[in-house]
Amino acid sequence: MAVRILGICGSPRKSVTEYCVREALKEAAGLGGVDTDFFTVRGLKYGFCVHCDLCLKKESLDCLRQKDDLAGFFGRFITYDGYIIGTPVYDMNMSSQLLTLINRAMRPSWLLLQKDPGFFYRKVVGAIAVGGTRNGGQEMALQAINNVFFSLGIAPVSGGVLAYNGASVWSKNIPGLKGAEQDPVGLDMVRALGRRVGLMAKALRPQPETCGRPITGEGGMEEQKRVTLAGTL
């Protein structure tokens, strides 16, 4: 069975970030045994997470306070084996659209993690950041994305020597394909990252006997953490 990778574009425009995410997905799919899907925030309307925790109280993977374009997203998100997340750089950080998506969609993750702290431990993510200048905050944006997934237990991967903590692209504020083509080194990073996400997703694919294994024990969260860390990757 093929592994499944979801590309998420956190740009409100159809421009360089979307092109780069799609290029990374092509590289992953080119490995064989990898199916890919694409999701963009462009054109979607959704509100901020207000941390009411109604989703946790009612055990819902969707926000129950807001009925908007993110309905069903998290339930779909958790079915994938790997992720490629792209953002334009906004003030040396990820875009507000992507951050809001993450805040909203990931809050229900506690419903899964409190039952099995290792729920995400075989999933991987790679980050892409596109800036208008060479040193325009790409590294900060990449780290911000990676930190989100560290907190979930999803393993951030790099593109190796070409992309230490993700792919950094310099668009020179030129839109679309032409903007990406201004930075062939950045595109090399994007493609290396796509291949690495695909390879790692395949390598970490759970076997049937371990997939979704519940973590049990009488010691509460500390015992659950100990059992999870003792498992093999």
The pLDDT of residue 207: 60
Q: Assess whether pLDDT exceeds 80 at residue 28.
A: yes
Answering whether pTM is above 0.75, one says yes
Q: pLDDT of 48-70, one tens digit each?
A: 999 999 999 999 999 999 999 99
Average per-residue pLDDT for the chain: 88
SS (H, E, C) the chain: CCEEEEEEECCCCCCHHHHHHHHHHHHHHCCCCEEEEEEECCCCCCCCCCCCCHHHHCCCCCCCCCCCCCCCHHHHHCCCCEEEEEEECECCECCHHHHHHHHHHHCCHHHHHCCCCCCCCCCEEEEEEEECCCCCCHHHHHHHHHHHHHHHCCEECCCECCECCCEEEECCCCCHHHHHHCCHHHHHHHHHHHHHHHHHHHHCCCCCCCCCCCCCCCCHHHHHHHHHHHCCC
pLDDT of 104-147, one tens digit each?
A: 989 999 999 999 999 999 999 999 999 999 889 999 999 999 99
For residues 203-213, give the mean pLDDT.
62
Q: Which of 9-18, 35-44, 163-172, 175-184 has the lowest mean pLDDT?
A: 175-184
Is residue 197 predicted with pLDDT exceeding 80? yes
Q: Say which range, 129-143, 167-181, 199-213, 217-231, has the weakest mean pLDDT.
A: 217-231
Task: Give the percent of the chain with pLDDT over 90.
Answer: 78
Q: Domains (ranges, CATH) in the chain?
A: 3-230 (3.40.50.360)
Q: Is the pLDDT of residue 84 over 90?
A: yes
pLDDT band at 224 (very low <50, low <70, confident <90, very high): very low
Mean pLDDT of 93-98: 97
